[in-house]
């Protein structure tokens, strides 16, 4: 049996190495897509917690089922107004954070 230690890496180190460091265009695209994925998952989970179908949620929001599906699967850049309507229909609390780049 070998006594060699395995080298471990943080998620940041791996992301910096394989995607790019913060501030590069490739990293910005990756971070934006990740945020959209997380938003879509939050919508899906809130909908399921409320025991609603995509069609039922769409009716509450005033959009088609396909739009809810696209939001949940991060296939569209939705308007903020639509996202706010979705979370309001789900009776979910949301908060936004804005960071100013120096």
Domain boundaries, the chain: 15-89
pLDDT at 29: 85
Q: How far apart are CA 48 and CA 27, in angstroms?
A: 31
Q: What confidence tens digit (pLDDT) does each residue in 30-71 have?
A: 888 888 888 889 999 999 999 999 999 999 999 999 999 999
Alpha helices in the chain (DSSP H): 11-18, 25-49, 54-61, 65-72, 80-89
Across residues 92-101, what is the average pLDDT? 75
Across residues 73-98, what is the average pLDDT? 82
Confidence of residue 1 (pLDDT cuts 50, 70, 90): low
Q: Is the pLDDT of residue 2 over 70?
A: no
Angle in degrees, 0-180, between the axes of helices 25-49 and 80-89, rounded to the nearest 10:
30
CATH class (in words) of the domain with range 15-89: mainly alpha
């Amino acid at each position: 049996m070998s006594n060699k230690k395995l080298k471990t890496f943080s998620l940041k180190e791996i992301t910096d190495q394989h995607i790019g460091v913060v501030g590069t265009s490739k990293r910005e695209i990756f971070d934006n897509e990740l945020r959209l994925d997380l938003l879509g998952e939050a919508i899906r989970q809130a909908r399921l917690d409320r025991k609603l179908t995509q069609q039922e949620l769409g009716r509450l929001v005033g959009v088609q089922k396909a739009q809810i599906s696209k939001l949940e699967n991060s296939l569209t850049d939705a308007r903020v107004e639509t996202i706010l309507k979705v979370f309001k229909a789900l009776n979910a609390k949301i908060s936004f954070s804005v960071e100013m780049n120096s």
